[in-house]
Structure 1
Amino acid sequence: MKAFSKHNSPDSCWVILYGAVYDVTDFLSSHPGGSKIILQLAGQDATEEYDPVHPPGTLESNLKPSAKLGTIDPKTLPQVEKTEVETGEAEGLQLTPRSQKRLEEAIESDVFSDSAAKAARNEPVDLSSLLNIEDIEAAATPRLRKKAWAYYYSAGDDLMSKQLNNTVYRQILLRPRIFVDCTNCDTSTTFLGHKVNLPIYVSPAAMARLAHPAGENGIAKAAAKYGALQVISNNASQTPEDIVKDSAPGQIFGWQLYVQTNRAKSEKMIARINKLAQIKFIALTLDAPVPGKREHDERSKNIGSNLPVKAAVQSESGSTASTSTAPNTGAATSGSSAPDAPGSGGVGVALFAGTAPDLTWQTTLPWLAKHTKLPIVLKGVQTHEDAYIASQYAPQVKAIILSNHGGRALDTAPPAVHTLLEIRKYCPEVFDRIEVWVDGGIKRGTDVVKALCLGAKGVGIGRPPLFALGAGGIEGVERVFEILKAETETCMRLLGAEKVEDLGMHHINVRAVERDIYDGEANLQRHGLWSKIRSRL
């Protein structure tokens, strides 16, 4: 068994960040992601792991000035070899057979082979050769660190909901009309009264800087070029102020809220959001009160150096000391009193630390009303009953997002298409009271159009912009918008629809999907919960 130094345990934990050495021992118990994440990197240079997932100012706001012990002499740091997980050689962190096959087919294709080879060599990819969203994901895969790929790709359990989110659109057939002038095509629409050029918005997807240093601000720049709405993740790797600072005139954003158990933290953040004029609404996320089991992400949790760090530390007072610290393993914490907080299950679990699981109709919306006048969008509605109840909270609630969290929460939960059809069947008046948006599985312009035909006001894309950052930075995200816009326009023209508002149920055949939607009682007026809620409205 390796010997452990005095600085890689819960009793004394030092890490290197941006060339400085920090004593984070006292912070272990309060780290939102749990102590294990820090202890895995104890005694090491943690900058590469820390930087992509923490916005600027995080160190200063969480550590006392005395925690900074001094600077490191980089010449004394050893060369660190990458682990098998980082290089992709670990057996447990591979693509699923279906995804592996898709990647191999893409690489073997005449059009894509050159781009894939360049990606593998970390050379710029010819983005024009990437013809669809699958191509972009395949191009990004060899360029991303395995930890980033695992977080983006992962979904709950067996990935059934994630896959159905997309394949359900294939079951819907289109009904093109002929002898219709298709010279013009207008994809513009509105979200909550704000004009946008596309019925496609960026869903709140976290940790964009895992893919590219441009991060969420880079996504914002690409969205600006195409006049698209962006919903900023509560767990973005940049501050909301930094994300919106370069916004174009008239560009709009929403901000996602995960309510914290410590409500004061959420209230403080909401106060910051209230000051940003570009942010037009708050998207309260409700489809993941607790994290789902994402196995690809969990298998990436131990990515890090296996080598001890021996380096010279220049203290703040100017003296020099030698450190010798070995990486932490389970033995370091065995029998210790260190808290076993969430955070050992990958990036996803760590991000959920501190998220409140106690939200209710009766308490949460009144609480929000005290702290913001911004419209509320409820994200994560998955049944017609909840869509109906949400509509009764208008005008505070202006819209709902039908979503199963990208398949990342409860596996085998319904895709948004099923919930759209439920609403149409049981309570179509919802569409008249509030806007209905959807996300999950959108990979083609035909998917966009089918959702709009079903009554959705717009559709969200979460993973595509992240993979696009990995494939080509800001230009990669622009390519995503370019592809989806062109495909959407082509579909509308071939259907004979000039404007978004022209699309409707007469353009699609959903018989193959209708057989799978909920077919029980409506559960609206007789619903016990609804009776309680109605008495408080």
Structure 2
Amino acid sequence: MADKLISTAEVAKHTTAESCWVTLYGKVYDITEFLPSHPGGSRVILQLAGHDATEEYDPIHPPGTLEENLKPEALLGSIDPATIEEAPKKENTKSKLEDEGPPPMGTLLNLDEIEQVAKKQISEKAWAYYWSASDDLWSKSNNNSVYRDILLRPRVFVDCTACDITTTLLGEHKVGLPIFVCPAAMARLAHPDGEQGIARACSRFGVMQIISNNASMTPEQIVADAKPGQTFGWQLYVQNDRAKSEAMLARINKMSEHYKFICLTLDAPVPGKRELDERQGFKNASRVSVAAKGKNEPERPGGGGVGQQLFWGTAADLTWKITLPWLAKHTKLPIVLKGIQTHEDAYLAAKYAPQVKGIILSNHGGRALDTAPPALHTLLEIRKYCPEVFSYIDVWVDGGIKRGTDVVKALALGAKAVGVGRAALFGLGAGGQAGVERTFEILEAETATCMKLLGVKNLEELGPKHMNTRKVEQDIFDGDANLDKVGMWEKVRSKL
């Protein structure tokens, strides 16, 4: 059957939930049986039914996805090349930038300029997924603007000829910059270099990279040419089907020479309402009813954007009491908890050291709960209510980083490292690996310049005395510390 030639006209007849065929990489598949279990719902596929779906499929799915999800008999044959009509030439509506390609990366002077170039280079679908955030985008915007409300306190008459911005994370991993790449999904939507291109850029600067659970390349591909000592973490979204998560953990355990920790994401047990992304799900609505779905298919929230698709199957029943002991059974790698948004949860996390070696203060880039606090608020909460946390575990932050001054402000207030997600993706979109390298060049230079102008020679000298946080502190939580209710976890910790 796999050698059978099938005409495009025959494929075009199968466009319903009762009989759905698509062409991928020149092969014809009957995916009718798979429709109800597709993470994004059947409507996403039905919009492409009867057509060549390769262009939509390829940037999103890593190799092996077809084999993992389809039965061998789903492959019906190959498309008959004699029946493929040449696509009509489209009117050239590209801008000069799109026509000629991006400018030299060295001419881009800040992350905003890189972002604007990326917007013109990548697809509308990719832009909508990367840029979108929840509801009214308040948290996304405030993640960045809150940094403007912290003022620097430079000291003068200090020899600042040299500045060392290297550091050590999780107690043992030396990195060249106090900056890491957050787990950002679907990098090949931005550029064919994908997550591996980001990894290669990271290697030049000694930057740590956390690989997304929903990467568009396999974990093996991404670290294939990693340099000795290059540090990676693996993001884990625990699945309702725990066997899938356990299989992935076993896979990552075998690559512990590269993957040094598991980053358990907690700030998005369900997807936020990202309207710009969801709207993309209706782009081909003329091909199929918006309400269409496969037989016996469960209801899915949202408009079927990329974000909604990726979250389908993610477990929402994680707890301190059950999930961390479960993880301990399936990996010896240290755990970093991503998505801490209160000092109480930071305090609880520290109680689970040394299994938990770090936390990331994050509101998911403003993509989960809108009006959730920016990481800087949580960082200041920890300083106010439970500063001992900094002595037990690494505290990292992400969200809103656009300048080296943002990096320095977070570090001065106790963060060990600062994460960038969209910035890496936009760098990739602007110029592939070279665009990501330019992103790090800018942040490295701005961070070092800020440190020198503060009169600080290394990260150890940097501290709260270099910051004026009064304007931000008026917005910090001012209730009861609420830390006398967690003694019960001492018993849990003793069992780990």
**TM-score greater than 0.5 by the shorter chain:** yes
Report how far residue 6 of structure 1 moved.
5.2
In 2, Cα distance between the equivalents of 1:338 and 1:285?
27
Call closer, same or farther: CA 1:79–1:298 in 2, change over 3 Å. Answer: farther
Partner of residue 38, structure 1: 45
Task: Please show how residues 429-444 of structure 1 align to structure 2 within 5 Å.
Answer: 429-444=388-403
For 1:243, which of 194, 207, 222 is the aligned residue? 222
For 2:179, which of 197, 200, 204 is the aligned residue? 200
Residue 127 of structure 2 aligns with an amino acid whose one-letter code is W
Superposed CA offset, 1:307-357 (max 9, x none): xxxxxxxxxxxxxxxxxxxx43347659x5444345743000110000000
Partner of residue 210, structure 2: 231
Residue 189 of structure 2 aligns with an amino acid whose one-letter code is L
Alignment partner of 1:300: what SS? helix
Call closer, same or farther: CA 1:375–1:337 in 2, change over 3 Å. Answer: closer
Task: Please show how residues 148-159 of structure 1 align to structure 2 within 5 Å.
Answer: 148-159=126-137
In 1, Cα distance between the equivalents of 2:461 and 2:399?
23
Partner of residue 259, structure 2: 279
Report how far residue 500 of structure 1 moved.
1.2
8 A contact 2:43–2:292 mirrored in 1? no
Superposed CA offset, 1:448-467 (max 9, x none): 00000000000000001111
Alignment partner of 1:120: what SS? helix
Report how far residue 5 of structure 1 moved.
6.8
For 1:383, which of 342, 353, 360 is the aligned residue? 342
8 A contact 2:102–2:121 mirrored in 1? no
Alignment partner of 2:432: what SS? helix
8 A contact 2:23–2:52 mirrored in 1? yes
Partner of residue 467, structure 2: 508
8 A contact 1:35–1:339 mirrored in 2? no
Call closer, same or farther: CA 1:378–1:82 in 2, change over 3 Å. Answer: farther
8 A contact 2:278–2:302 mirrored in 1? no
> TM-score, normalising length from structure 1?
0.86
Call closer, same or farther: CA 1:353–1:333 in 2, change over 3 Å. Answer: closer
8 A contact 1:42–1:328 mirrored in 2? no
8 A contact 1:40–1:302 mirrored in 2? no
In 1, Cα distance between the equivalents of 2:59 and 2:302?
17
In 2, Cα distance between the equivalents of 1:484 and 1:377?
24
For 1:176, which of 147, 154, 163 is the aligned residue? 154
Alignment partner of 1:135: what SS? helix
In 2, Cα distance between the equivalents of 1:343 and 1:237?
22
Partner of residue 107, structure 1: none
Task: Please show how residues 491-530 of structure 1 align to structure 2 within 5 Å.
Answer: 491-525=450-484, 527=485, 530=486
Alignment partner of 1:41: what SS? coil
Identity between Structure 1 and Structure 2 (%): 67
Report how far residue 531 of structure 1 moved.
4.5
- Pair 1:135-2:120 in alignment: no
Superposed CA offset, 1:430-460 (max 9, x none): 0001110000000000000000000000000
Residue 28 of structure 1 aligns with an amino acid whose one-letter code is L
Partner of residue 329, structure 1: 289
Superposed CA offset, 1:145-181 (max 9, x none): 1000000000010100000100000000001111111
Alignment partner of 1:26: what SS? coil
8 A contact 1:82–1:305 mirrored in 2? no
Task: Please show how residues 316-465 of structure 1 align to structure 2 within 5 Å.
Answer: 327-330=287-290, 333=293, 337-342=296-301, 344-465=303-424
Superposed CA offset, 1:245-295 (max 9, x none): 110121110010000000000000000000111000000000000000001
Residue 284 of structure 1 aligns with an amino acid whose one-letter code is L
Residue 286 of structure 1 aligns with an amino acid whose one-letter code is L
For 1:10, which of 13, 17, 40 is the aligned residue? 17
In 1, Cα distance between the equivalents of 2:366 and 2:291?
35
In 1, Cα distance between the equivalents of 2:250 and 2:292?
41
In 1, Cα distance between the equivalents of 2:90 and 2:492?
56
- Pair 1:263-2:242 in alignment: yes
8 A contact 2:277–2:307 mirrored in 1? yes
8 A contact 2:43–2:290 mirrored in 1? no
Report how far residue 32 of structure 1 moved.
2.5
8 A contact 1:44–1:305 mirrored in 2? no
8 A contact 1:161–1:413 mirrored in 2? yes
In 2, Cα distance between the equivalents of 1:122 and 1:406?
32
Report how far residue 143 of structure 1 moved.
1.1
- Pair 1:299-2:259 in alignment: no
For 2:270, which of 290, 294, 319 is the aligned residue? 290
Report how far residue 218 of structure 1 moved.
0.3
In 2, Cα distance between the equivalents of 1:76 and 1:305?
26
Aligned residues: 480
Partner of residue 436, structure 2: 477
8 A contact 2:139–2:370 mirrored in 1? yes
Superposed CA offset, 1:483-520 (max 9, x none): 00000000000011111111100111000000001001
In 2, Cα distance between the equivalents of 1:150 and 1:332?
23
In 2, Cα distance between the equivalents of 1:223 and 1:338?
42
Partner of residue 216, structure 1: 195
- Listed as ranges, the gaps of 5+ residues in structure 2 are 1-10
8 A contact 1:35–1:343 mirrored in 2? no
Alignment partner of 2:234: what SS? strand
Residue 399 of structure 1 aligns with an amino acid whose one-letter code is G
Alignment partner of 2:34: what SS? helix
In 2, Cα distance between the equivalents of 1:331 and 1:224?
46
Residue 221 of structure 2 aligns with an amino acid whose one-letter code is D
Report how far residue 302 of structure 1 moved.
2.9
Alignment partner of 1:470: what SS? helix
Report how far residue 534 of structure 1 moved.
3.7
8 A contact 2:177–2:206 mirrored in 1? yes
Call closer, same or farther: CA 1:9–1:62 in 2, change over 3 Å. Answer: same
> TM-score, normalising length from structure 2?
0.93
Call closer, same or farther: CA 1:486–1:61 in 2, change over 3 Å. Answer: same
Alignment partner of 2:400: what SS? coil
